Amino acid sequence: MKKILSRILSLSLPLTLLGITSLTTYKYHKNYDIYESKNSFSYKENFKKEMELFNDKVQGKILARTPTDNIVTLEVLVDDEVKSFYDDFYNPLDGEEWQDKLLKNLTQASERFNKEFGITFKIGKVDYWDSTEDLYISQLMEVLEKKTFRGLNSKEDIVLAFTGQRDRTPYGGITNYLGKLSLLRTYEETIFNEFDHLIQHELSHLFGAMDTSNGRDSVMDYRSNSTKWDRYDKMLMLPNKDRFKNKP
């Protein structure tokens, strides 16, 4: 009994020194290295501060080397699970790797739209959104639709939301077809490094492209790694490429 008590004390002392006073209020997420306090919102408050700094840095950024006059603005929403792959919840000023990777993927996808359709994406705003755990992506989309009124309460043309919440597969997306709201999910670092293909796929739905699985060399074939639009995709998208151009 003495040995057991001694062992418990030896484990609890370092936790006390770290400021963790109640083990029952913390949950360890094995897919990212953080302890999330269920009784404290400090980590979310810090993330909101970091998002404010990120917004200051990228607001108004044109995501194309040779922009056109067909400017489509994006409101980019990110939950704290996305950030958690790369840095510490509790320090709003530490690493910006997740921001750089997100911006890189957005830019790569946007360059293809600019080159093929003359659509130039511009960041109107980046912000935090509080996602809900233990929901499939379709259920998360319902939550997001209510929060954003299907994107209609945004001043920007398109609302592009990212989540790191877990689901049955490590990545995926869902979009309001020919609407203005897309939700993308990834919770594996290797996929987050290169998911411009997924961004391109979901944004294409907003301009009329439809899913396919018949082996076409197309970004819309979810079994393909292609970043091309084939002639069927273009046939559907070209009539809609200016849908945000003549906005009121």
Around Cβ 2, how many Cβ atoms within 10 Å?
Answer: 6
Residue 3, by phi and psi: left (phi above 0), alpha (psi -120 to 50) or beta?
alpha
Look at residue 81 in the predicted model and tell me its pLDDT: 83
Mean pLDDT of 37-55: 73
Look at residue 25 in the predicted model and tell me its pLDDT: 26
Percent of the chain with pLDDT over 70: 73
Q: How far apart are CA 128 and CA 51, in angstroms?
A: 6
Which range has highest mean pLDDT (2-6, 27-31, 110-114)?
110-114
Q: Residues 79, 192: contact at Cβ < 8 Å?
A: no
Residue 68, CA atoms < 13 Å, CB-side half-sphere: 18
Mean pLDDT of 222-247: 91
Mean pLDDT of 69-91: 81
Q: How far apart are CA 14 and CA 132, in angstroms?
A: 31
Look at residue 181 in the predicted model and tell me its pLDDT: 96
The residue among 148 and 238 whose pLDDT is bigger is 238
CA angle at 11 for the pair 8 and 14, rounded to the nearest 5°: 140
Residue 13 above 60 pLDDT? no
Look at residue 41 in the predicted model and tell me its pLDDT: 53
Q: Taking the model in full, what pTM does it have?
A: 0.79
Q: In the 8-state DSSP scheme, what is residue 151? A: T
Q: How far apart are CA 80 and CA 102, in angstroms?
A: 13
In this structure, what token pair is assigned to residue 153? 């309460």
pLDDT digits 0-9 by tens, 83-122: 776 665 555 555 677 888 899 999 999 999 999 999 999 9
Residue 9, CA atoms < 13 Å, CB-side half-sphere: 6
Q: In the 8-state DSSP scheme, what is residue 92? A: T
Residue 29 above 50 pLDDT? no
Q: Give DSSP secondary structure letters for 176-243.
A: -TTSSEEEEEE--HHHHHT-HHHHHHHHHHTTT---B-S--SSTTBTT-------HHHHHHHGGGTTT
